[in-house]
């Protein structure tokens, strides 16, 4: 199968595939960004330590390390549409499993449900990211992915707000009742009522994901091959194993700091003595900043600056905000962490297509490795929460995030030099 690459503003295929992909990214964002409030929820519901509660993003994102290669093989056998439909069905199964296990107050089963959701997302991500990248000209790839990111983060803003309204309406009061319970039986009675609030929302989500799976199967999406068949002048741009490895490692670090800014911000705020009723909204604030970052990026890239240079500027902004977070405390420091959402917004939209283009004819392998690198979202938050036990959340956050931005900035510099050399050879 030959690779079809669109050439118009929305590709030769029109806007329909873009809209469908945006809806898929909305579903990805809604499911993914529930992890932030879920950390607070499970910590109370199962009486967990910070480390045990942070198994939520770990189990979710480590699935990205295990499943992308099998997911790639499955997608090649089933085709694009069937692969995406299967992914949505797997996500629906994981969502239903999570809801049932939380309602039954079985934490290992709930973590298994998150792992199943992650497996479905692996299949979905390994397909939709390269698909959007190749849906039009390379210089506008970051813009297309930013459109997807806008849908993703808009869902991410809604998810914690909906979860807070349906499940965590009075979490501060629940926590007080649990602490004041005269016996273990009384405490369990309060928590059973608390966890039952999850059942209907998660069952409804599972049904909606199944409906989307059927809709995708019935839709008319153009087939775009992503594999060794890719050929052409960009083959001369093959960046070699070092640039691929550094690009994958940069993706690992980026997803880790993105998840920390969105999911760990609640713990970060609580470390300054802020209440649960306040911190439950912090994830939505980070994602609102990220949404603003996407909108700004779509206006600027590639009109005023290239996607690679904008990524470098974003990393520099991330370093600056880490410094500001370290020098402040309380709400101002939390605001600096939330504003990392703005800095993070255009890193992945540029990083994914830049690595794929640098790999030329090996773009299919690069895509699988990049999705595997999403497991950084499970590793860096765990590093953070362990460091927080030793040095406090304030210092631990900066100690993990700042070096990550620095590594990505170094990668940007190397890729800019690589591009200049490739242009000179051409």
Residue in 37, 38, 47 with CA at minimum distance from that of residue 179: 47
- The closest alpha carbon to 359, from 237, 254, 199, belongs to 237
Asked if residue 271 lies in contact with residue 394, where contact means CB atoms within 8 angstroms, the answer is yes
What span, in angstroms and rounded, lies between the C-alpha atoms of 32 and 365? 24
Q: What pLDDT shows up at residue 75?
A: 79
Helix, strand, coil tally for the chain in percent (to 5): 80, 0, 20
What pLDDT, on the 0 to 100 scale, is given for residue 328?
97
Which residues of the chain, if any, have pLDDT below 50? 1-11, 228-237
**pTM, two decimal places:** 0.83
**Residue 96: CB partners within 8 Å, gap ≥ 6?**
113, 202, 203, 206
Each residue of 318-356: pLDDT tens digit?
999 999 999 999 999 999 999 999 999 989 888 877 887
Residue 108 to residues 39, 53, 112, 115, 268, Cα–Cα distance (Å) = 14, 11, 6, 11, 25
Q: What is the DSSP string of 159-197?
A: HHHHHHHHT-TTHHHHHHHHHH-SSHHHHHHHHHHHHHT
In Å, how far are 331, 335, 412 from 286, measured between CA atoms? Answer: 13, 9, 24
3-state secondary structure 91-144: HHHHHHHHHHHHHCCCHHHHHHHHHHHHHHHHHHHHHHHHHHHCCCCHHHHHHH
CB–CB of 49/108 below 8 Å?
A: no
Are 405 and 258 in contact by the 8 Å Cβ rule? The answer is no
End-to-end CA distance of the chain: 28
Check: CB of residue 349 under 8 Å from CB of residue 145.
yes
Convert 320-337 to b/e letters by CB count within 10 Å (16 or more is b): ebbebbbeeeeeebbbbb
The matching CATH number, chosen from 1.20.1250.20, 3.60.21.10, 1.10.10.10, 2.40.30.10, for 16-219+230-425 is 1.20.1250.20
Q: How far apart are CA 116 and CA 295, in angstroms?
A: 32
Of 275, 105, 244, nearest to 175 (Cα)? 275
pLDDT digits (tens, 9 = 90+) for 41-85: 999 999 999 999 999 999 999 999 998 888 888 877 887 778 888
Closest by CA position to 84, among listed 198, 219, 178, 208: 219
């Amino acid at each position: 199968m030959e690779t079809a690459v669109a050439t118009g503003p929305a590709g030769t295929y029109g806007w329909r595939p873009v809209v469908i992909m945006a809806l898929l990214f909305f579903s990805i964002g809604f499911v993914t960004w529930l992890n932030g409030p879920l950390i607070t929820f499970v910590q109370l519901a199962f009486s967990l330590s910070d480390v045990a509660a942070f198994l939520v993003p770990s189990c979710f994102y480590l699935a990205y390390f295990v499943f992308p290669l099998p997911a790639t093989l499955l997608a090649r056998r089933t085709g694009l549409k069937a692969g995406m439909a299967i992914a949505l069905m797997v996500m629906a199964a994981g969502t239903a499993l999570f809801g049932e296990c939380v309602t039954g107050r079985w934490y290992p089963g709930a973590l298994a449900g998150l792992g199943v959701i992650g497996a479905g997302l692996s299949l979905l991500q390994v397909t939709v990211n390269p698909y959007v990248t190749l849906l039009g000209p390379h210089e506008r790839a970051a813009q297309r992915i930013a459109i997807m990111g806008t849908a993703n983060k808009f869902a991410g803003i809604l998810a914690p707000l909906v979860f807070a309204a349906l499940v965590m309406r009075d979490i501060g009061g629940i926590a007080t009742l649990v602490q004041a319970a005269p016996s273990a039986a009384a405490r369990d009675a309060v928590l059973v009522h608390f966890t039952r609030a999850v059942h209907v929302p998660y069952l409804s989500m599972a049904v909606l994901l199944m409906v989307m799976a059927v809709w995708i199967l019935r839709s008319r999406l153009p087939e775009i091959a992503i594999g060794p068949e890719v050929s052409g002048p960009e083959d001369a741009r093959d960046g070699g194993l070092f640039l691929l490895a550094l690009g994958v490692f940069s993706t690992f670090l980026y997803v880790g700091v993105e998840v920390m800014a969105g999911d760990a911000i609640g713990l970060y705020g609580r470390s300054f003595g802020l209440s649960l009723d306040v911190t439950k909204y912090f994830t939505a604030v980070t994602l609102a900043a990220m949404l603003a970052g996407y909108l700004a990026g779509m206006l600027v890239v590639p009109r005023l600056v290239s996607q690679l240079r904008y990524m470098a500027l974003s990393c520099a902004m991330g370093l600056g905000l880490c410094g500001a977070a370290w020098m402040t405390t309380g709400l101002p420091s939390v605001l600096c962490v939330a504003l990392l959402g703005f800095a993070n917004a255009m890193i992945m939209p540029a990083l994914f297509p830049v690595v794929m283009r640098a790999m030329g004819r090996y773009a299919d392998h690069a895509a699988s490795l990049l999705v595997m690198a999403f497991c950084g979202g499970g590793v860096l938050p765990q590093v953070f929460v362990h460091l927080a036990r030793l040095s406090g959340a304030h210092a631990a956050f900066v100690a993990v995030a700042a070096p990550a931005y620095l590594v990505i900035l170094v990668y940007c510099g190397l890729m800019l030099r690589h591009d200049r050399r490739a242009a000179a050879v051409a």
